[in-house]
Amino acid sequence: MVGEQVYGGIEMPRIERPWLVGIRAARASNSFCGGALIAPTWVLTAAHCGPNNARFVSIGSQFLRGERDGERIRVKRAIVHPQYVDPFEGNDFMLLELERASVYPPVAVIRSHESSQFGRPNAIATAMGWGATETADNSDQRLKVKLRVWDTAICERTIGFDIHDQSSLCAGGELNRDSCQGDSGGPLVQNIPGTFFDVLIGVVSFGGDCGVKGQPAVYGRVSSALDFIYRYAPGVRIFPPRPL
């Protein structure tokens, strides 16, 4: 996030959400941004994390740094959304193509927030990552926190400037519960009712101070980036599935 990650979160079990990705400058260095594995050789993250800095990804690891578990894969190329200028203008998305396929199953990607219960106002979603906490600059282990999705118009009035409804969404705004510095590019997901599976609805983009009541953070709206994703990343699983 520009300026700030999981704040007020709880530790994630090791086997939970192995598709969570840490973006690294070197194989065993700290993850400076988050991401999500959306296809065997593709990761979705935020454009403001920077294409030149993303040289490795860590997938399926519990830890901020090192090579104690999971896998490290070199980034083959980074592709920034063609309409990205800066996080405040929306379209804060970047795809990372990996040198080889990950052994972990990807997360499903939302098809449309308008035709489903996913990504709509008052929905409960989960953010996760290794970002700043209320007691430390970064968490050594993965954390997660549940957040409420906001109505865009109310979010705009609350934070004091326009956001791009088609490419952004707001979530959070609860005391001591937020994404924060270091979580940039990380996933915002909703659980598919009655299952153990998630749908990726957002990417951590920017916000103000972490964990302030009434001050939500802004996320890239994944459903707005489907054309960009489909153009480069074959094999992405979408939910709800497209009608036959």
* Residues marked as catalytic: 48, 92, 184
Q: Is the omega angle on the peptide bond into residue 240 within 30 degrees of 0, that is, cis?
A: yes
Contact 82, 125 (CB under 8 A): no
Q: What CA–CA distance (Å, rounded) separates 140 from 135? A: 12
Smallest CA-to-CA distance from 51 within 18, 29, 84, 28 is with: 84
Q: What CA–CA distance (Å, rounded) separates 192 from 240? A: 10
Q: What CA–CA distance (Å, rounded) separates 31 from 13? A: 19
Helices (runs of H) and strands (runs of E) counted in the chain: 2, 15
Helical H segments across 24-150, by residue range: none
- Say if residue 201 is exposed, middle or buried (CB neighbours under 10 Å; 0-12, 13-18, 19+): buried
Q: How far is CA 27 from the centre of its chain?
A: 21
Q: What CA–CA distance (Å, rounded) separates 186 from 222? A: 12
